[in-house]
């Protein structure tokens, strides 16, 4: 397999095209030591941004977003690709850019920004074992799109988890209630008949 792309505005992908590119993305980040959960968290966000088409453009202007995560302005992606000899629409190059942003390498630092609520370093993010947490962390630390379509992103991430693992995302176990402490009753009260 290889990355597929269609360059242009509103070039949304079908399910088989997304699955092909999700597999390429999965293989790249698995080799970087990422958990399935962190990969699916990224994929949930990326599906919402681009339907996993690395050639998609938000518009023809370079001031708009292009690529998997809709780099805005698009020159953030295109200039970096020129510097390192990549085609901007190449999914492998965009995975490399995403990784470099997290690691702060190859001139791509400053894009992974931990927040007070999601204070994960890149290496901590790659080790997350909860799909919803990874989806939110990627949204708030990299995409920074607020809560725009958060439910869509969470749903897509869950679907990618099921696609790759063959099982639904395990439910989060409920928090056990705090036990109530009582003083013991005198024995005569327990034996007393209720009328």
Active site residue ranges: 49
At residue 180, φ and ψ (nearest 5 deg) are -85, 130
Q: Please give the Cα distance from 4 to 180 (Å, whole number).
A: 58
- Give CA separation, 91 vs 2, 6, 96, 190, in Å: 9, 11, 9, 72
At residue 121, φ and ψ (nearest 5 deg) are -70, 170
- DSSP designation for 179: P
Question: Using alpha carbons only, what angle is made at residue 102 by residues 149 and 124, rounded to the nearest 5 degrees?
Answer: 85
Asked if 144 and 153 touch (Cβ cutoff 8 Å), the reply is no
């Amino acid at each position: 397999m290889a990355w597929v792309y269609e360059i242009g505005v509103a070039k949304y992908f079908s399910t088989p095209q997304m699955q092909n590119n999700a597999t390429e993305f999965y293989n790249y980040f698995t080799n970087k030591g990422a958990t399935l959960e962190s990969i699916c968290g990224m994929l949930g966000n990326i599906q919402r941004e681009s339907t996993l088409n690395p050639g998609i453009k938000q518009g023809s202007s370079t001031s708009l977003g292009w690529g998997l995560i809709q780099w805005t302005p698009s020159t953030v992606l295109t200039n970096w690709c020129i510097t390192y000899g990549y085609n901007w629409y190449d999914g492998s190059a965009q995975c490399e850019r995403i990784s470099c942003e997290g690691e702060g390498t190859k001139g791509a630092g400053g894009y992974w920004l931990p927040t007070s609520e999601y204070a994960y370093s890149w290496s901590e993010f790659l080790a997350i074992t909860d799909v919803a947490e990874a989806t939110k962390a990627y949204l708030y630390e990299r995409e920074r799109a607020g809560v725009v379509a958060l439910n869509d992103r969470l749903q897509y991430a869950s679907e990618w988890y099921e696609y790759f693992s063959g099982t639904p995302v395990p439910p989060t176990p409920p928090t056990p209630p705090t036990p109530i402490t009582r003083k013991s009753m005198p024995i005569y009260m327990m034996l007393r008949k209720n009328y």
